[in-house]
Amino acid sequence: MKTIKSICCIGAGYVGGPTMSVIAQKNPNIKVTVVDLNQQRIADWNDQDLSKLPIFEPGLDQVVEEARGRNLFFSTQVDEAIDEADMIFISVNTPTKTYGKGVGMAADLKYVELCARQIARVATSDKIVVEKSTLPVRTAQAIKSILDHTGNGVKFQILSNPEFLAEGTAMTDLANPDRVLIGGEQTPEGKKAIEALVNIYGAWVPKTQILTTNLWSSELSKLVANAFLAQRVSSINAISELCEATEANVEEVAKAIGMDSRIGPKFLKASVGFGGSCFQKDILNLVYISKSLGLNEVADYWEQVIIMNNHQRNRFANNIVSNLYNTVSGKKIAFLGWAFKKDTNDTRESAAIYVADKLIDEQAQISVYDPKVSATQMQSDLNYLNTRTETENKTYLKTKTDPYKALESAHAIAVLTEWDEFKDYDWQRIYEAMIKPAFVFDGRNVLDQEQLKAIGFQVQSIGK
């Protein structure tokens, strides 16, 4: 088996950056080069000031500090890095299509295809190409066809190695993964390629936790894992609405069912809805694949997870309006949190964006504080929905860098992200600076409801 001396990863994003940092940290003898077309992103990865890394993940800065310049490099020289590498990871974005066939459902594979064509054009020696991006089942077939028909006669092996890290806990997830999944061709060459990747993870992951399968099982498992996780969130959110109508308490119900070892306690937290770049896009992709295969019942079953999530966001926004005497026009609604979850600066598909959009439709003034998200990012998230002009969005959405300033003179507070620091605020001080009656809508069930009520707040949470 060929020893891997050099790795290239195309895509220095939320997956490529942290994953390759850990692979480099644990394999000091392998040169790992992470490349991206986005020059600013690469400059940020190379910034000596580690607080400027383009991605915020607890613990990432230490790993980058340890490996960067030793055997971990960030570069925009894509061709050079491809040619030098024995193994190339494709870790580019695979968003939902916004045009053409499958619009709003299928994964847009144009970035992946561009990578395949670039690898084929540049490679002058045999390569193992690893799908790290989340891809529709059977994409490896398309990649192989491109590589074999447009390359320079060199041999390619394709592996599927989907990433299961969760943002916010990426570094501990990478250091102690529940499992690493590697799919490959079941031929002697395919098995050798699988073994080469197993050895890279084997530097720190016990072999019993490295699962090898055929290509299609591996590709499909990633979509299915996200579908199952998101389904649990939508299931408990559906029950939260039932709890509100019956005086049952969703946290008590979640605890009661989660103690059943067949169900388990994780991913049973009711909330304003899941976000992030993956759950929605991967389920839509699964729905699209099922429909394309004529499996309409399968498609409808999984689509319901998305329908429920959209409903939960809308319900949260509508509840704010109805509690504020059916009008929020001209009222200041303060948001605590904009990121899709705590401990990340990622805002893709965050519930906050959709709740803000709905409330702005009702002419509310939104004032946001998030410890890690910039004002520019928030504006661009809202603009991306295309609901109104950028100038209008600017007048309705304001960002503050001091939480107390964001909450001052607000009619209501909406908690959209579960950042730990929110629990420790001086809630008496916040109450005194608000318009009365002072409302809190806790979309994450993180605040101490009894304490807030004792101060005088009108408190609403999810499923209670």
Residue number, 119 or 430, with CB nearest to ligand NAI: 119
Is the backbone peptide bond immediately before 177 cis, with ω within 30 degrees of 0?
A: no
Residue pair 127/210 in contact by the 8 Å Cβ criterion: no
Binding of residue 41 to ligand NAI (CB under 6 A): yes
Q: At what angle do helices 215-246 and 139-150 cross, to 10 degrees?
A: 150
37 binds ligand NAI (CB under 6 A): yes
Among 23, 53, 105, 115, binds ligand NAI (CB under 6 A): 115
x-or-dash pattern for ligand NAI, window 65-84, by CB under 6 A? -------------x------
- Determine which residue in the list 4, 10, 53, 412 makes contact with ligand NAI, applying CB under 6 A: 10
Cα–Cα distance for residue pair 30/450, rounded to 1 Å = 55
Which residues fall within 8 angstroms of residue 259, CB to CB, at 6 or more apart? Answer: 265
Q: What minimum distance in Å lies between the beta carbon of 10 and ligand NAI?
A: 5
Q: Based on CB atoms, which residue is closest to ligand NAI, 12 or 413?
A: 12
Taking the C-alpha atoms of residue 440 and residue 458, their distance in angstroms, rounded to an integer, is 6
Closest CB to ligand NAI among 287 and 412?
287
Identify whether 8 is a catalytic site residue: no
What 3-state DSSP class applies to 33? Answer: strand
Count of beta carbons in the 10 Å neighbourhood of residue 298: 15
User: Considering the complex, what minimum distance in angstroms separates the CB of residue 298 from ligand NAI?
Assistant: 21
- Per the annotation, does 226 bind a ligand? yes
Per CB under 6 A, 253 contacts ligand NAI: no
For residue 335, say whether it is annotated as part of any ligand binding site.
no
Q: Is 41 annotated as a binding residue?
A: yes
Q: Quick check: 15 binds ligand NAI (CB under 6 A)?
A: yes
Cα torsion 378, 133, 151, 126 to 10°: value is 130
**Total count of residues recorded for the chain:** 464
Q: According to the binding rule CB under 6 A, does residue 224 interact with ligand NAI?
A: no
Q: Are the C-beta atoms of 365 and 324 separated by less than 8 Å?
A: no
User: From the list 33, 71, 91, 309, which residue makes contact with ligand NAI (rule: CB under 6 A)?
Assistant: 91
Measured CA to CA, the distance from residue 435 to residue 276 in angstroms comes to: 33
Nearer to ligand NAI, 75 or 213 (CB): 75
Say which residues have a Cβ less than 8 Å from residue 368's Cβ, sequence separation at least 6.
334, 335, 338, 352, 356, 378, 397, 398, 399, 400, 406
Q: Flag whether 92 is marked binding.
A: yes
Residue 13 found at the interface with ligand NAI (CB under 6 A): yes
Q: Which of residues 147-206 bind ligand NAI (CB under 6 A)?
A: 163, 165, 167
> 397-399 and 458-461: which strand pairing?
unpaired
> Of the candidates 133, 160, 240, 367, which one interacts with ligand NAI according to CB under 6 A?
133
Judge whether 153 is annotated as a binding position: no
279 is in an annotated binding site: yes
CB of 254 to ligand NAI, least distance (A): 24
Number of residues forming the site for ligand NAI (CB under 6 A): 27
Helix or strand run (H / E) with residue 119: helix 110-122
Least CB distance from residue 190 to ligand NAI, whole Å? 22
Residue from 161, 277, 309, 312 binding ligand NAI (CB under 6 A): 277
Residue 246 neighbours by CB distance under 10 Å:
8
Q: How far apart are CA 115 and CA 132, in angstroms?
A: 12
CA dist., res. 448 & res. 78, Å (int): 50
The annotation status of 224 as a binding-site residue, yes or no, is: yes
CB burial of 346-360 (b: ≥16 within 10 Å; e: otherwise) equals bbbbbbbbbbbbbbb
Nearer to ligand NAI, 229 or 415 (CB): 229
Q: In the complex, which residues of this chain contact ligand NAI (CB under 6 A)?
A: 10-16, 35-38, 41, 78, 91-94, 111, 114-115, 133-134, 163, 165, 167, 277-278
The set of catalytic residues is 278
Point out the annotated binding site for substrate.
163-167, 222-226, 262, 269-275, 340-341, 444
Point out the annotated binding site.
11-16, 36, 41, 92-96, 133-134, 163-167, 222-226, 262, 269-275, 278-281, 340-341, 348, 444
